[in-house]
Amino acid sequence: MAVVVVIMVLLVFFLTGQHKKKDQEPLERESEPTINQVSYLTLYNTRNIMVVYAYMAGWIMKQNIRDSREKMKFIRLYFNRYFKGDNNISQEMTAALRNETNVHSIVSWVNRKMKTASEKQQLVEFLIALSMEDGAITQPEFDALIWFGKGIGFSEPELEQWIQTKKDQQYRQQQSQQAPPVYKTANRKQEALKTLGANEAVSPAELKKLYRKLVKIHHPDALLNATATEKEKAEERFIQIQEAYEYLVNEV
């Protein structure tokens, strides 16, 4: 009788251990996802959103490998800004570029987990900006952007409008870099102070605080749901703020 009891206890222990092992498998995949395991990213959190961004960035880069160094620089800057505290950017991008991208799985995940159109739009606009980092969008990149955007619920005219808006922004930025400085009049300091809402007695610390506050308000990325006209005005205002600060930081 005692032998039977011991055998039953061991059997229960074995089965319980196997059950726990099976329950742990998705968690192991969750912590170390690979390019074809996006479907296992069951949680909607910053870590997994970063993984999706990395996989899609790798997919877009494969459409046109020209000037990949500049694109990687753009990705690092973007990720450091929006995914602060995560040190696996290089690891994720290496995996994304080395492995085949299961884009259908990513489309499915985005549609299930990203509940708002603004979240999806931000992802698409990130990919558009990445595509244009080398100066222009190639036909394979354009086709890939349209396919992915339509897959997550946007219309082709919407996507074409966002691409055109980004092209216009890039053109204006190039023109502003070639243009002479804005503050050339005798009252240039007063103009710059007015732009930042500061007075003559402003200290360097106060100036920096004002600048950061205005940048957060007027940065084009903060206007995800704005119209093209509103974004254009915000960008012009953003450039004015930057130029005013750059001038005053050497004067105050």
Which one has a higher pLDDT value, 4 or 250?
250
**Is the pLDDT confidence value at 154 over 90?**
yes
Q: What is the model's pLDDT at position 15?
A: 44
| Helix orientation angle between 46-63 and 117-131, rounded to the nearest 10 degrees | 40
- Break the chain into its structural domains and give their ranges: 38-165, 180-248
Residues sharing a CB contact under 8 Å with residue 242, sequence separation 6 or more, in sequence order:
215
**Is the pLDDT confidence value at 134 over 60?**
yes
Average pLDDT score over the chain = 76
Which one has a higher pLDDT value, 241 or 21?
241
Q: Long-range contact list for 222-227, CB < 8 A, 24+ apart?
A: 224/118, 224/121, 224/122, 224/125, 225/118
**Is the pLDDT confidence value at 153 over 70?**
yes
Residues sharing a CB contact under 8 Å with residue 197, sequence separation 6 or more, in sequence order:
210, 214
Which CATH number applies to 180-248? 1.10.287.110
Residues sharing a CB contact under 8 Å with residue 234, sequence separation 6 or more, in sequence order:
218, 219, 220, 222, 223, 226
Q: What is the model's pLDDT at position 250?
A: 73
Condensed to tens digits (0 to 9), the pLDDT of residues 53-65 reads: 988 999 998 888 7
Condensed to tens digits (0 to 9), the pLDDT of residues 178-234 reads: 555 554 555 788 888 888 888 888 888 888 888 888 888 877 666 666 676 777 777
